[in-house]
Amino acid sequence: MTELLVVIAVIAIIAAVSIPTLWTYYRSAALRSAAERTVSLLNNARQLAIRLNTTVCVTVDATGIQYHQGTCGAAAYTGPGTDSAGYMKLDTGMTLSGTNNLCFSYLGSVPNPLPAGCNSTLAGTITVTRAQGGSMDVIIASTGRVRIQ
């Protein structure tokens, strides 16, 4: 019986020490996942512009992204991964902010001439923020390359 109590005490101590570490890992993994999803959505917009041989504008609001073909004022693109309004959301508790109206040309870079409503340079930063704290930046280069910083 004494051995059983010692084993239970050791397990309780290990759990008490490891739970804060696991919780920190969970929070940072959720934030990293949202940043990776944002990179994926931006890369999908770039690939869509190349595939459709047109300009694709990416509009960003607090909780998600929409694609627009041609100009930023055009109707939202609906396709795989979008809802009926063409909206792609991030997970609950994650928000986006930063550069809006990013446009990709059929070459995957800045369109020339620049369509109405597009940001004057493709380069920009989108910040992914977790409601409980923490943020990551998604950097878009003028060449169309997207990365997490």
Place of tokens 């990709």: 104
Q: What is the pTM of this model?
A: 0.82
Place of tokens 């070459």: 107
Residue 127 sits in a domain of what CATH number? 3.55.40.10
Place of tokens 């809006």: 100
Q: Identity (one letter) of the amino acid at 59?
A: T
Domain of 57?
2-148
Inter-CA distances, 78 with 7, 27, 82, Å? 57, 31, 6
Which residues of the chain fall below pLDDT 70? 120, 122
Q: Looking at residue 122, what is its pLDDT?
A: 67
Tally the domains of the chain: 1
Q: Looking at residue 47, what is its pLDDT?
A: 93
**102 and 122 Cβ atoms separated by less than 8 Å:** yes
**93 and 107 Cβ atoms separated by less than 8 Å:** no
Q: Looking at residue 136, what is its pLDDT?
A: 92
Q: How far is CA 81 from the centre of its chain?
A: 14
Q: Looking at residue 67, what is its pLDDT?
A: 92
Q: Looking at residue 101, what is its pLDDT?
A: 87
Q: Of 41, 51, 50, 142, give the one whose Cα is nearest residue 105.
A: 50
Q: Identity (one letter) of the amino acid at 89?
A: K
